[in-house]
A and B are shown apart, each in its own frame.
Chain A
Amino acid sequence: MSTLKYRTDLAGPLMLVLSLGLVSCASPPDSGFSTAPSQGPGLGRVASASLLQRMDRSIMSNGEGLPAGSGTVAQGEKVYAAKCLSCHGDKGQGRPADPLVGGIGSLKTERPIRTVGSYWPYASTLFDYTRRAMPANAPMSLSDDETYALSAYILYLNGIIAEKEIMNANTLAQVSMPNRAGFIDYSAR
């Protein structure tokens, strides 16, 4: 087992302690030496359900973790103008920070443009990232409704959803991103 890698550091002295104990029985029973160096002292505090709820805000690609609430494209456009436009430009065109639209169909070309619309495989990532990290000057300040609305607006700007579509836990998880099949999993290589 892999924890053995670390155990090797302690194996020498430990073996000595163990063999002394066996051969001479000289080691007093209350010596306190742990015979299991790969075990911790168990100092973790059990986390409460409310704490888990506060700390765990990540969203899985199947939508697991998406909160209650909803938002429309029109609402998103307003929030965007107030909280995002200064960094991501008019209609997500970018500058001074990353563009949030465009590049669909460009990945195979000489000038690939990677954006939420052209590159990201899941809409859940947009919600997850926006809610925890944006706006960059005030992260974690957006409400869930605002985050749904912004997701709707950015997906709409990319032509991925229609103007009338409402984003919520159900619909966002269903959004089919253009580059969904664009990744090769190298994790096992």
Chain B
Amino acid sequence: MPPKNSLVKNLLPSLDMPKRRRFLTGSASVAATLSVTSLTLPVNAEENPLWMKTPGKPMSGYGTPSTFEASVKRPFASGYPTVSPGTGSSRTPHQALEGTITPSGLHFERHHNGVPDIDPLQHELLIHGLVERPLLFKLDALSRYPLVNRVHFIECSGNSGPNSAPEPPQITAGAIHGLASTSEWTGVPLALLLHEAGIKPGATWILAEGADAASMSRSIPLNKALDDAMIALYQNGERLRPEQGYPMRLLLPGWEGNTNVKWLRRLKLTQAPTFTKDETSKYTDLQKDGLARQFTFGLGVKSVITFPSYGHKLERQGLYEITGIAWTGAGRITRVEISTNNGLSWKDATLQGPVHSKSFTRFRLPWHWHGTTHVLQSRATDDSGAVQPTRTVFTAPYAKGMNFHNNYIQAWAIDANGSLSNVYT
């Protein structure tokens, strides 16, 4: 069907266009921005482009994305805009991204009283409690430890919350599922530091506390700390971003985001959980029977189709690639199936390697669209054998509106015009 806006016509996606451009045109507002810009530039085939006839910009100290990508942003909101604007979240715009690594500046944020501006020279990590020697570590000391790098996702357990609304919200994949991001994290295995401090018998939990204005505090079983926990110092090769815990954060691969305490200042070995506010009032999962699950750390197997998804538009019939990301707190993604007929039949997508443990895995499946209506779904399986549940199955045990650890199947409907919408199935 002809686009409403004639400007958009010039930018009709063609299959030989780069993927990024092809799907950006799907969003009406983005398409409009692009077309306005295009009019000011020579699009005429007879003329060589301006940027070939003038010297480009010189070098810069720190690169930024192309100005033409300015619309690729994290949507953000605070639950308390007037009194506590720093308590809220921003979300990774998955519908506009490819690959598996989230650019550091687009990693989701969830803060409980803003982002502290920490001087690393004045920041120390204290390890104390049931230890032989309470020890303090500065950033420069930790940077001299044997470091490891790991590609891991972090996901807030409140991710995908918008889908607990009674009617499916018509918002982008990122606005729904963007409280999950993947980075290459580099840091010190926590076990090394704990052994230096000397773990005393009786220690079974660790209280982790951040140096933000909430003193964010969570209790972690010691087992996890001795397993694959790290004190992350770098994200995607550079020092952590302030929003991600500069100068150091706890990284607990596969565990709910809030336990990956940012701006980490203190680890106290204890013989029981501390029962902090954010492991009682929040981040506990209330069931229908009035009891709440507590210390539900591991994140379930999950996937979301990022293209095509809400906001994209299939402008013409033909070959498309359905793609998205899958992840699990249990280990590796082993399979992602795609249905284009509302779950009646499923076909395996290709998993693009390397498939890291507790990390985003990109899946892809070529698909011909013939101008008919469809409901697209993806269903992931992990190496523990867990399969992504349906919305009905997932929500069954929980109290109304409870939405922590939501990992159910996302469905996108395509209408005959190629427009995408969010649907519950």
Contacts and interface: CB of A to CB of B under 8 A. Distances in A.
Whether both chains belong to one complex is answered with yes
A47 B280 contact: no
Interface in B234-293: 265-266, 268, 270, 272-277, 280-281, 284, 286, 288-293
Q: Which of B192, B274, B289, B293 has the most CB of A within 10 A?
A: B274
Interface residues of A, number: 60
Interface stretch (A66-74, A164-172, A181-189): A181-189
A123 B265 CA distance: 25
- Overall SS of chain A's interface: loop
Given A42-B196, A182-B291, A183-B291, A58 B217 contact: yes
Interface in A81-110: 86-87, 96-97, 107-108, 110
Contacts of A57: 215
B215 A125 contact: no
A182 B126 CA distance: 33
Contacts of A124: 275
B228 interface: yes
Contacts of B117: none
A120 B399 CA distance: 17
A104 to B, nearest CB: 12
Given A2-B228, A121-B280, A139-B113, A55 B293 contact: no
17 contacts: A10-B146, A40-B192, A51-B126, A52-B134, A57-B215, A60-B275, A87-B80, A96-B80, A97-B84, A112-B400, A125-B276, A125-B280, A128-B277, A133-B213, A133-B214, A182-B290, A188-B221
Q: Which of A47, A111, A116, A128 has the most CB of B within 10 A?
A: A47
B295 interface: yes
B290 A119 contact: no
B420 interface: no
B134 A47 contact: yes
Contacts of B209: 58
Interface of B: 80, 82-84, 87, 112-113, 124, 126-128, 133-137, 141-142, 144-146, 148, 188-189, 191-193, 195-197, 207, 209, 213-215, 217, 221, 223, 226-228, 265-266, 268, 270, 272-277, 280-281, 284, 286, 288-297, 399-400
B268 A56 contact: yes
A132 B217 contact: yes
Contacts of A46: 133-136
Contacts of B286: 107, 112, 114
B325 to A, nearest CB: 24
A116 to B, nearest CB: 7
B290 A132 contact: no
Interface string A10-49: 1000000000000000000000000001111111111100
A183 B292 contact: yes
Contacts of B135: 44-47
Contacts of A186: 293-297
A3 interface: yes
Contacts of A119: 280-281, 292
A61 interface: yes
Contacts of B113: 133, 136, 139
A44 B295 contact: no
A143 interface: no
B80 A60 contact: no
Contacts of A128: 217, 274, 276-277
A61 B275 contact: yes
Nearest to A139: B213
A55 B123 CA distance: 12
Nearest to B221: A187
Contacts of A44: 127, 133, 135-137, 141, 193, 196-197
B272 A60 contact: yes
A42 B124 CA distance: 15
A9 B273 CA distance: 32
A132 B142 CA distance: 27
Given A5-B228, A10-B146, A110-B400, A39 B192 contact: yes
A6 B148 contact: yes
A1 B289 CA distance: 40
B136 A121 contact: no
A80 interface: no
Given A40-B146, A58-B207, A184 B291 contact: yes
A45 B136 contact: yes
A184 B293 contact: yes
